Amino acid sequence: MYFPYRLSLLYWGLSRSIGKTTQRIWGSFSKNLVLSSQTRRPEFNSFIARTNTCGELRSSHLGQEVILCGWIQYRRQNIFLVLRDFHGLVQVVIPQDEMMPTGEIEIKVKTAELLNPCKKLPFEIKDFVKKTEALRLQYRYLDLRSFQMQYNLRLRSQMVMKMREYLCNLHGFVDIETPTLFKKTPGGAKEFVVASREPGKFYTLPQSPQQFKQLLMVGGLDRYFQVARCYRDEGSRPDRQPEFTQIDIEMSFVDQSGIQSLIEGLLQYSWPNDKDTVVVPFPSMTFAEALATYGTDKPDTRFGMKIVDISDVFRNTKIGFLQDALTKPQGTIKAICIPEGAKSLKRKDFEFIRKFAVDHFNQEVLPVFLKGSRNQNSPVAKFIMEEQRLELIRLMEIQEDDVILLTVGEHKKACSLLGKLRLECADLLEARGVMLRDPAVFSFLWVVDFPLFLPKEEDPRELESAHHPFTAPHPSDIHLLYTEPEKVRSQHYDLVLNGSEIGGGSIRIHNAELQHYILATLLKEDVKLLSHLLQALDCGAPPHGGIALGLDRLMCLVTGAASIRDVIAFPKSFRGHDLMSNAPDYIPPEDLRPYHIQVSWPTDSEAAKSSLNHPTHQQS
Amino acid sequence: MYFPYRLSLLYWGLSRSIGKTTQRIWGSFSKNLVLSSQTRRPEFNSFIARTNTCGELRSSHLGQEVILCGWIQYRRQNIFLVLRDFHGLVQVVIPQDEMMPTGEIEIKVKTAELLNPCKKLPFEIKDFVKKTEALRLQYRYLDLRSFQMQYNLRLRSQMVMKMREYLCNLHGFVDIETPTLFKKTPGGAKEFVVASREPGKFYTLPQSPQQFKQLLMVGGLDRYFQVARCYRDEGSRPDRQPEFTQIDIEMSFVDQSGIQSLIEGLLQYSWPNDKDTVVVPFPSMTFAEALATYGTDKPDTRFGMKIVDISDVFRNTKIGFLQDALTKPQGTIKAICIPEGAKSLKRKDFEFIRKFAVDHFNQEVLPVFLKGSRNQNSPVAKFIMEEQRLELIRLMEIQEDDVILLTVGEHKKACSLLGKLRLECADLLEARGVMLRDPAVFSFLWVVDFPLFLPKEEDPRELESAHHPFTAPHPSDIHLLYTEPEKVRSQHYDLVLNGSEIGGGSIRIHNAELQHYILATLLKEDVKLLSHLLQALDCGAPPHGGIALGLDRLMCLVTGAASIRDVIAFPKSFRGHDLMSNAPDYIPPEDLRPYHIQVSWPTDSEAAKSSLNHPTHQQS
C-alpha cells in the first residue's frame, strides 16, 4: 500500500488545520545535528513546507529537524516506515520506546500526517516487478513513479534546458512558436486533418515547421529555434508516435559547416555529465561511402565489420557463380568479416543468416572460413586458390577464426544485404557474449552529399525529392539540374548516432526562380499550394539552412531506453491509442455538426478487410 | 528595393565560390582600428562568416575590417548603401574617390556580394509606413522585419528563457511535454476534433494539459512545468486565437501561498530589464471585494475611482427614486467619483455615459456635481441635503470639480455597471488629456476566494463549476458542500495585471471520493469520461495545485502591443484564418477517405443564415 505522507515538525499550525482527515503520530528527535553545506543544485523545497527530499539525508543531517513528503514504500509492524520520493528512500521510525537504530540515519517521527490513503495498486512500484507495457501504459501515472521513468523524464528536461541555454544565451537564437493549425502541403499525405467551422475547410497538423522557419528567415529573425511538436499520421508503426518532438533550428547566412559546428557544440554542451564527453568535430561520410561501406545511410560506427568489395580478387576466378556475377552489368562480389565468427557462431546461426538473406533480399550469402580449424568444412573455401585466399586475408584483415560472409550482385543491393547482415551478426555475436557495441560509447557521424532526387517508386521515369523540395542542390552540381537532374547531389546532411538517424537538415533554396523550376518543372507539383513561400523568396530571402533533431529518438539513445515510449510521459501505443484515457474515442454526431462533417461508416466487407490488416484490439 | 547583402573582406575564397551569381563591389578600408571590448551578450555571429551586426558598430570599431550581412534599406546614387539587420542600420560607402564621411562611422566597401535580388515589396519596412493588419498578416514574413515585431518576438523568447531558468535551474521543476492528441473532456464543447483512421473515433486538441499535469503529480513528478500549446475553438472572437500558449505549472505538497510566491518570484526574475522592477508580494483581494470595489473580477488597480456604497448616506432621504431603491430587496445606492470630471468631461461625454448604461445594463446612471461651479446645474444635487452632501464629500473624498456617477439597484448589477463605467470614464479622461493609467506601471493583483460553483445559465437551479471541476473547495467551507454547495468558496486564484487576467489556478481535489461526489452528485457529469483520473486519485495522489499563465496576453501587456497578434509570429485572423497561407483550406474527398469522414455541405438556406452571423470575408 502507498500513502503520500508528510512528516512534519515545524508546521504544527498547518498540520492541525488540515488534520481533520489525517492520522498523526507523535515523537521526538534523538540526535544532535550539523547542517550540511549548501549545494548548487536547484532548490527542490522552495514554496512548500518540505525541508528535504527523502533521498538526500546523510549522517551530516544527524539531529536536524526535517519535514519530508512522500509515498509509503513499506510499513513494518507500524514501527518502521520507508518513505519514497523521486530522490530516493529513507527509513522513518515511529518511536515506541528506546531502540537501536540501524542504517546510517533514520528519522524519528514527531508528527506524521496521512495526506491520502491508497487502494491496492495494480502493480508495485519496484523496479524488479515485471509488468507488460500495456499495463504500464494503462496505469501510466503509477509507471511514472519508477526510478527509470523519473530518470528519463528528468534527464530529458535537463538536457533540453542545456540546449536552450546554448542556443538562446550563448548564441543569440530566438525561440519562436510556429502554428500547428496549418494547411495541407504538397505531398503531405501523412497529415492529420482538423475540421474547422467553415464547411469543407480543414486545418492540418504539420509534420514540421519547415515552411514557417524558412519564412522567419525571410522575416529577418535570422537565428530561430523551437522545441517543436510535430505530427505524422503513419497508421500503426512500431516505435513511432503520432505526435513527436524535434529540436528545430534555422539560420541565415550560414553554410553546411556552420550548421554542423552549431550542432556539435549543442550536443557537447548539453550532454549529460554522467556520460562520456562528446568529442567534436564529428566524423563525416558521403552517402555513397556510407552505402558502400556499411550498406545503409545510417551506419553504426561503433564497430567494424565493414563491407569490402572483393570483385578484383576474383577477376580471374574459375568459380562458376563468381564468374557469372562479374560478367553481369554492375555485378560485384562483396563480403563482410565476422570477427571470431567461426568460434562464436553456431551452425543454426549461419542457417538463420542464409535464410534472412533469402527471405528479405531474395539473395544468396555464403559463409567462408579462410583461416582456422573450420576452413576445411567450407565448401567455397576449398575452391578458392591460395593466392586469392591470401589476398582476401590481407584485404579484409582476416584473423584466426574469423569468418567472412560473401555475396554477389548489383552494388546497391549487395551492400544493403550485407549492411543488414552486419547488424544481424552483431546481435548474434552479442547474444553469444561477444560485446561489439559498448552502450557507454556514443558514436556520432555526419552523412552528407545525398542525391537531391530519387526516381519515384510508382514511375521510375519521374523524380521525387530525396528529402523535401526546399533542399538546395550541391553548388558543384547546379549545372546538372538542367541536363541530368538525377545526378545532382544535395546540400542535405544527416546526423547519425550509433546507427540511428537522430537529425537531418539542409541548406535551403533561397532563389525563387530555382525553387519554382524544381517544384514545377522537375517535381511537377502544384505550385499554387506554395505560392506564399515562392513570393517570400522573391522578397529578399537571405541564404539560409537548418536542421531538426529528433528529440525522442535522441533521448532514447542517451538513456539507453528500450523504446521511445520510455522517454515520453504519456505516449501512444503503436496503434496510436492512449491506453490510459482511451483516446481516440467516439464522438456523438451532434458534436460533429458544428464542423460540418459526418462519419462514413465502412461497410461490413470493408471493416472485415481492414481488421485483417490490423492486429487485434487486445494487442493495441 | 531590398536585397540581402553580405559585405565581405576576410572571406575571399567563400565569396568567389558563391560569386557566380552575385555582383561584387571592390574597395578598401580607410581607417585604423581599435577592437572593442568583449560584451556578455550572446554571440550572434558564431557559425557564420559575419563579424558584426549592423546596429552595433560605433567609433570604437574605427578601422576594423568587418563582414556584415543584411538587407539594403536605401541606396543613394550607387555610392551609399544603408544596410539593415535586426540590430539596426549602418551606412556603407562604395568608394568612388576620396570622400568626406558623415556620421560617426561608415563602412568603406572592399567586397560586396548580392545574395538575392528582390521584387518591389507590397510595403516598405519602415515603422512610419502605415498598413492595414490584413496586409501585414498576408505578408507576415515582411511585417516580421519591422522593429516592433523583432522587439516583441525577441523579448518573448528572452522572457520565456528566464522563466525556464527560474523554474528548472533554480527551483527543480521538470519540463514535461504532454500530448495534444487527447480525448473529449466533460463539457469540452470548444475542443477541435482530429479524425483518426479508426471509423468514428476522434482525438481532440485539449484546452489545457489540466488532466495530464494532475496525473504527473500522482506519478511523483512533483514539480512540473511546460510552455504548453493549447487549443480552443471559439469561432470568431476578436483578440482570441484558436491556438495559444500558456506557462503551465503544477506542484505537489503545496498550498495557495506557495504557488503565489512561486509566480511572484517567476515574474520578478523574468521581467525585462528595460521595465520597472516587479515589486513582490503582489497585493491580494477577495472576489467579493473586487466586485464591490471595482465591479469586476479583474480590477485595473493602476488608478482609483473605486465603487463606494453610499446606501447608508441616503437611509432617510426624501428623494423618491433613492427611497424606492432602498426599499427593494438587496437594493443599494452606489457611486464612483471621476476626478476633475466637471472640468475634463463634456456634456456629450455624460450623454455617452448615460446611453452606455441604458444600452448595456438597462440601467440609469446620474452624474452628480457636489463641489465646484457646476453643482447648480445638477438636478439631483439640488435635492441632496447639506448634511448628506458633506457626508458624501467625506466618504468619497470628493475634491473641487470632481463629479460622481450614481446608480441604484441590486448589488452585483450596480457594481458591474459602475465597474464598466469606471473604465469607460478612464478612456474618456485620457482622450481629454488626463493621464490615469501610466503605461510604464505594471500593477499586479491576486484575486482569491472565488465561489466554487455558479448557477447554470440555462437552469439556475443546477450548478456548474466556476472554473473547472478539479478545483478544491476552501478548507473553511467544506462542510457546506453537503448542505449549501452554492455558498462554498474555492481555492482558485486569478492573477490580474492592469485589468487583464493573465493567469489562474487552484489547489486541486486530491481525494477520489470528494472528486466523485462533486462530479457525479453536484455537477451531474458523466464520470465514465474521467474514470482514469478518479482511479489515479485513488492510488495515493498527493495534495497538489498549480497555475497557468497566458503567455500571449502577458507578452501583449509587457510590450504594450495593441493586440496579442503582435506578439505571435504567425497569428490567425479573428476568424481563425491564416491570411498568408490561406489555412484552413478545402481538402479533396479522397484525402478524407482514410479518416472515414465526409463533409456535410449545408443547404442553401443554412449557408445564407450562417453568412448573416458572420462578418464578410473581406474583414477576416
pLDDT in tens, A497-531: 999 999 999 999 999 999 999 999 999 998 988 99
Residues of chain A contacting residue B164, judged by C-beta atoms under 8 Å apart: 161, 164
Q: Is the pLDDT of residue A14 over 70?
A: no
Residues of chain B contacting residue A234, judged by C-beta atoms under 8 Å apart: none
* A617 Cβ contact list (under 8 Å, min separation 6): none
| Nearest partner of A569 among B527, B180, B512, judged by Cα | B180
Burial of B368 (C-beta count, 10 Å sphere; 0-12/13-18/19+): buried
pLDDT grade, residue A105 (50/70/90)? low
Q: Is the pLDDT of residue B382 over 60?
A: yes
Residues of chain B contacting residue A543, judged by C-beta atoms under 8 Å apart: 4, 115-116
3-state secondary structure of A231: strand
Q: Is the pLDDT of residue B425 over 90?
A: yes
Distance separating alpha carbons of residues A384 and A404, to the nearest angstrom: 13
Residue B391 cell numbers, joined: 457626508
Is the CB of B181 less than 8 angstroms away from the CB of A584?
Answer: yes
In B42-179, beta strands by DSSP E: 68-76, 80-85, 88-93, 107-108, 111-114, 174-175
Residue with cell 438597462: B362
pLDDT at residue A188, rounded to an integer: 64
Helix axes A147-164, A256-270, angle to 10 degrees: 130
Q: Which candidate from B541, B543, B586 shows the least CB-CB separation from A201?
A: B586
Q: pLDDT per residue over B564-617, tens digit each?
A: 999 999 999 989 999 999 999 999 999 999 999 999 998 876 666 555 444 433
Interface test with chain A among B8, B41, B69, B141, by most A beta carbons within 10 Å: B141
Q: Is the pLDDT of residue A94 over 80?
A: no
pLDDT at residue B335, rounded to an integer: 97
Is the CB of A161 less than 8 angstroms away from the CB of B175?
Answer: yes
Q: How far is B190 from chain A (nearest CA, A)?
A: 10
Q: Is the pLDDT of residue B620 over 50?
A: no
Distance separating alpha carbons of residues B336 and B296, to the nearest angstrom: 14
Q: pLDDT per residue over B119-147, tens digit each?
A: 888 888 777 778 899 999 999 999 999 99
Residues of chain B contacting residue A578, judged by C-beta atoms under 8 Å apart: 179, 181-183
pLDDT at residue B381, rounded to an integer: 73
pLDDT at residue A185, rounded to an integer: 80
Contact A128/B at CB under 8 A: no
Q: How far is B349 from chain A (nearest CA, A)?
A: 40
* Most confident of the following: A321-335, B74-88, B372-386: A321-335
Q: pLDDT per residue over B294-325, tens digit each?
A: 999 999 999 999 999 999 999 988 888 899 98
Q: pLDDT per residue over B93-118, tens digit each?
A: 877 655 743 345 667 777 778 888 88
pLDDT grade, residue B558 (50/70/90)? very high
Is the CB of B42 less than 8 angstroms away from the CB of A212?
Answer: no
**A308 φ, ψ to 5°?**
-120, 135
Q: pLDDT per residue over A182-218, tens digit each?
A: 998 876 678 999 999 999 999 999 999 999 999 999 9
Is the CB of B169 less than 8 angstroms away from the CB of A184?
Answer: no
Residues of chain A contacting residue B157, judged by C-beta atoms under 8 Å apart: 168, 174-176
The continuous run of DSSP H or E covering A80 comes out as strand A80-85
Is the CB of A86 less than 8 angstroms away from the CB of B587?
Answer: no
Q: Are B104 and B59 in contact (CB under 8 A)?
A: yes
Q: Which candidate from B47, B85, B154 shows the least CB-CB separation from A251?
A: B47
pLDDT at residue B69, rounded to an integer: 86
pLDDT grade, residue A92 (50/70/90)? confident
The continuous run of DSSP H or E covering B184 comes out as none
Q: pLDDT per residue over B333-355, tens digit each?
A: 999 999 999 899 999 999 999 99
Q: How far is B121 from chain A (nearest CA, A)?
A: 7
Between the two ends of chain B, the Cα-to-Cα distance in Å is 29
Q: Are B620 and B574 in contact (CB under 8 A)?
A: yes
Q: Is the pLDDT of residue B7 over 60?
A: no
Strand partners, A182: A204
Q: Is the pLDDT of residue A19 over 50?
A: no
Residue B220 cell numbers, joined: 511523483
Q: Is the pLDDT of residue A411 over 90?
A: yes
Residues of chain B contacting residue A44, judged by C-beta atoms under 8 Å apart: 171-172, 223
Interface test with chain A among B585, B611, B614, B617, by most A beta carbons within 10 Å: B585
Q: Span A549-577, mean pLDDT?
A: 96
Q: Which candidate from A168, A182, A196 shows the least CB-CB separation from B576?
A: A196
Residues of chain B contacting residue A254, judged by C-beta atoms under 8 Å apart: 47-48
Tell me, rounded to whole angstroms, the distance of Cα A358 from its chain centroid: 30
Q: pLDDT per residue over A33-53, tens digit each?
A: 222 333 467 888 888 888 888
Distance separating alpha carbons of residues A502 and A549, to the nearest angstrom: 6
Q: Is the pLDDT of residue A152 over 90?
A: yes
pLDDT at residue B377, rounded to an integer: 59
Q: Is the pLDDT of residue A309 over 90?
A: yes
pLDDT at residue A13, rounded to an integer: 23
Q: Span A281-308, mean pLDDT?
A: 98
Question: Which pTM does this prediction carry?
Answer: 0.89
Residue B120 cell numbers, joined: 518591389
pLDDT grade, residue B188 (50/70/90)? low
Contact B198/A at CB under 8 A: yes
Residue A202 cell numbers, joined: 480543414
Q: Is the pLDDT of residue B437 over 70?
A: yes
Residues of chain B contacting residue A280, judged by C-beta atoms under 8 Å apart: none
Q: Which candidate from B160, B229, B584 shows the least CB-CB separation from A229?
A: B229
pLDDT grade, residue A11 (50/70/90)? very low
Contact B160/A at CB under 8 A: yes
Distance separating alpha carbons of residues B332 and B351, to the nearest angstrom: 23
Is the CB of B175 less than 8 angstroms away from the CB of A195?
Answer: no
Contacts 24+ apart (CB under 8 A), A312-318: A313/A388, A313/A391, A313/A392, A313/A395, A314/A388, A317/A385, A317/A388, A318/A383
- Listed by number, the residues of chain A in 33-52 with a beta carbon closer than 8 Å to a beta carbon of chain B are 41-44, 46-50
- Listed by number, the residues of chain B in 256-275 with a beta carbon closer than 8 Å to a beta carbon of chain A are 258-259, 261-262
3-state secondary structure of B482: helix
Q: Span B226-241, mean pLDDT?
A: 88
Tell me, rounded to whole angstroms, the distance of Cα A265 from its chain centroid: 20
Locate the chain B residue with the closest alpha carbon to A121: B539
Residues of chain B contacting residue A242, judged by C-beta atoms under 8 Å apart: 181
Is the CB of A116 less than 8 angstroms away from the CB of B174?
Answer: no
Contact B578/A at CB under 8 A: yes
Distance separating alpha carbons of residues B381 and B370, to the nearest angstrom: 6
Contact A17/B at CB under 8 A: yes
Q: Is the pLDDT of residue B283 over 80?
A: yes
Q: How far is B146 from chain A (nearest CA, A)?
A: 9
Q: pLDDT per residue over A315-347, tens digit each?
A: 988 888 899 989 998 899 999 999 999 899 999
Q: Which candidate from B541, B572, B592 shows the least CB-CB separation from A193?
A: B592
Cis peptide before A281 (omega within 30 of 0): yes
pLDDT at residue B42, rounded to an integer: 84
- What integer best gives the mean pLDDT of chain A? 86
Residue type, A119: K
pLDDT at residue A5, rounded to an integer: 62
Lowest mean pLDDT of A152-156, A385-389, B402-406, B534-538, name the range. A385-389
pLDDT at residue B9, rounded to an integer: 33
Rg (CA), chain A: 31
Contact B82/A at CB under 8 A: no
Interface test with chain A among B177, B212, B250, B264, by most A beta carbons within 10 Å: B177
Locate the chain A residue with the closest alpha carbon to B206: A583
Q: Are A546 and A213 in contact (CB under 8 A)?
A: yes
pLDDT at residue B102, rounded to an integer: 35
pLDDT at residue A615, rounded to an integer: 40
- What integer best gives the mean pLDDT of chain B? 86
Q: How far is B449 from chain A (nearest CA, A)?
A: 18
* A214 Cβ contact list (under 8 Å, min separation 6): A250, A470, A508, A533, A536, A541, A544
